[in-house]
Amino acid sequence: MNLWQHLLIATAAGVLLNLTPCVLPALPIKLRSIARVVGSGTRQRVLAALALLAGTLTFFGALAIATAALNWTWGTLFQAVWFRAALALLLAGLGLYSLAGRGVQPPQWLYRIQGRGYAEPYFAGLLAAVLSAPCTGPFLGGVMAFALTQAPSTIFALFMAVGVGLALPYLILLARPGLLARIPRSGPWLRRVQQVMGLILLAGAIFFATTVLEQRFGALLWAGWLGVLTFWVFRALLIGPGLGARMVPALVLVVVAISATAIGFDRNDSTRHGLSWQPLTDRALEAARRAGRPVLVEFTADWCINCKVLEQTVYADDAVARAVAATHMRLLRADLTRPDADLDAALRAFGGAGLPFAVILAPDGGIHRRLPNLFTVGTLVAAIHSSIGSAHVQR
């Protein structure tokens, strides 16, 4: 493919990043930024769109420069403990402010600099870009793997294309306000929605905080969040005011009940198993090759939300455990929570450029199948079974 085709794929990858769990905490701020200008004139909407895009490209531009200059991989920034701690504090502050019913607003001095509130869409775009960095979405792994082999100018262009794609759905909403014009911009029910968004922001803050704090503190934080959620739901149901305002906590209660039921069945289901992972080392790879055993290598990190999704769903499925046992597969895990030059080099050597990433090696040690981004149980099981007795295939 030529560069223009790669740029097109990078843009599509940016659009699809909006569907990953990583970007979810930024959704409240983005939606509020759009809602503020839905009823405004064309000029105001265009300026808000440009501000949102500028915020997104600010981060991706800086990330592109760092990648080209420092040879970073996608998500390297999140290996820094101070960065995850700062992000957790930021999300916690925004969550508490929104939960108080005031929404998410930057300081007033930023409004004076940007004019007419355009600091908010800029900040929304910037935060969404930052939150997208821990995880890769569809197509992004291939785009980043290609980018890391190119000249700095090409790396910069590809990162900018991903940023444009990430902002694109919101730019369309700002360009076509009729898509949202019928949604009321005020009222008790909207304040309840705002508070739900605050709870989502707090959940994002706790997730990143748990990657910095000891496990017992993480458990306390999640218990506290559940307590706040429970208190808010029942308080909002009791005081309303009005049916519309009560419908929001009622819907949240239904979602929580369904999720809790699913988790309860999941824990009691005999089809859920933990795999026996060993650390990824050159010695372990060589031992597997000498024994003629296929290998599944998972690259993960505590700060990678998509990695946790895979570990709690795909890797925990009994079908995967049976396939691993049937093929006598060796399971190796590379933990990139903290900087590790050897594991970063291994990720690149296997053709990965970000997390989550998995690779299946044939018994002769060659790459049989790469599995970037999120994938299904069926995809993994099929790749495991086909790794036996086949010549390794680079794909």
162, 307: one domain: no
Residue 44 lies in a domain: yes
Query: How many structural domains comprise the chain?
Result: 2
32, 170: one domain: yes
- Cα dihedral 299, 288, 363, 322 in deg (nearest 10): -70
pLDDT at 353: 77
Residue 161 near residue 7, CB atoms below 8 Å: yes
Residue 200 lies in a domain: no
CATH number of the domain that 378 lies in? 3.40.30.10
pLDDT at 136: 63
pLDDT (tens digit per residue) in 303-346: 888 888 899 889 999 999 999 999 999 999 999 998 898 998 89
Residue 294 lies in a domain: yes
149, 282: one domain: no
Residue 175 lies in a domain: yes
Torsions phi, psi of 179, nearest 5?
Answer: -65, -25
pLDDT at 104: 47
295: amino acid identity, one letter: V
pLDDT at 109: 42
pLDDT at 110: 41
Residue 288 lies in a domain: yes
64, 175: one domain: yes
Domain endpoint, select from 187, 210, 234: 187
> Minimal CA–CA distance to 76: which of 127, 144, 17?
144
Structural domain including 290 reads: 278-386
Q: CA-based Rg of the chain, rounded to a whole angstrom? A: 23
59, 164: one domain: yes
pLDDT in tens, the chain (395 residues): 678 888 898 898 888 888 776 676 666 667 767 767 666 677 888 888 888 899 999 999 988 888 777 767 667 778 889 888 988 898 888 788 778 765 544 444 444 444 456 777 888 888 888 877 766 666 676 677 677 668 888 889 999 999 999 999 888 888 876 666 555 555 677 788 778 878 888 888 899 899 999 888 888 999 999 999 999 999 999 887 888 788 888 888 888 888 777 655 555 554 455 789 999 999 999 999 999 999 999 999 998 888 888 998 899 999 999 999 999 999 999 999 988 989 988 998 998 877 889 999 999 999 999 998 788 999 999 999 999 865 544 44
15, 151: one domain: yes
Domain endpoint, select from 187, 212, 242: 187
Residue 193 lies in a domain: no
pLDDT at 286: 94
Q: How far apart are CA 119 and CA 31, in angstroms?
A: 14
20, 125: one domain: yes
Torsions phi, psi of 274, nearest 5?
Answer: -95, 140
Residue 15 near residue 165, CB atoms below 8 Å: yes
Residues 6+ apart with CB under 8 A from 202: 91, 92, 95, 96, 99, 225, 228
Sheet-wide strand order for 357-361? 278-279, 330-335, 295-300, 357-361, 367-372
32, 147: one domain: yes
CB atoms near residue 36 (< 10 Å) = 19
Residue 306 lies in a domain: yes
Domain endpoint, select from 158, 187, 216: 187
142, 282: one domain: no
Q: How far apart are CA 145 and CA 318, in angstroms?
A: 32
Residue 266 lies in a domain: no
